[in-house]
Amino acid sequence: MKRVITYGTFDLLHYGHINLLKRAKEKGDYLIVGLSTDEFNTYNKGKKTYFSFNERKKLLEAVRYVDLVIPEYSWNQKRDDILKYHCDIFVMGDDWRGEFDFLFDICEVEYLERTPEISTTKIKVDLGRIQND
């Protein structure tokens, strides 16, 4: 069985997220998603999410491409997770290109093209514009 792992915040889940998860799952048989915890987002990423970790986890678990959701507590846990879950491929969006090449010694690393016209940031900006009209 080929195992794939990816990470993210996945707030305001949208079709760009679904496209990434679908293409990640196509790389193997089992997809693990490391979901950033609320604390990690706040203190390490400087992000405030709309949905809580538990709400985002429920949403991801409902996506047919996702087999397992695990919490992401820190930037440094990726190597340990890959080894713990026996992952063959590490996948991220291409906006992270080159950032995780240090994992090549334990698995394949692939950067998938993002869906260019959508992002959580764009949704938040557009909603702000709508509210201000």
Structure token digits, residue 54: 């538990």
| Whole-structure pTM value | 0.90
* pLDDT tens-digit readout, 33-53: 999 999 999 999 988 899 999
Domains observed in the chain: 3-132 (3.40.50.620)
The answer to whether residue 25 is catalytic is no
Kind and range of the H or E element at 19?
Answer: helix 15-25
Distance CA 32, CA 94 (A): 18
Residue-wise pLDDT for 7-34, tens only, equals 999 998 888 899 999 999 999 999 999 9
Whether residue 78 lies in the annotated active site: no
Candidates 45, 84, 122, 124; catalytic one:
45
- How many alpha carbons fall within 13 Å on the CB side of residue 113? 3
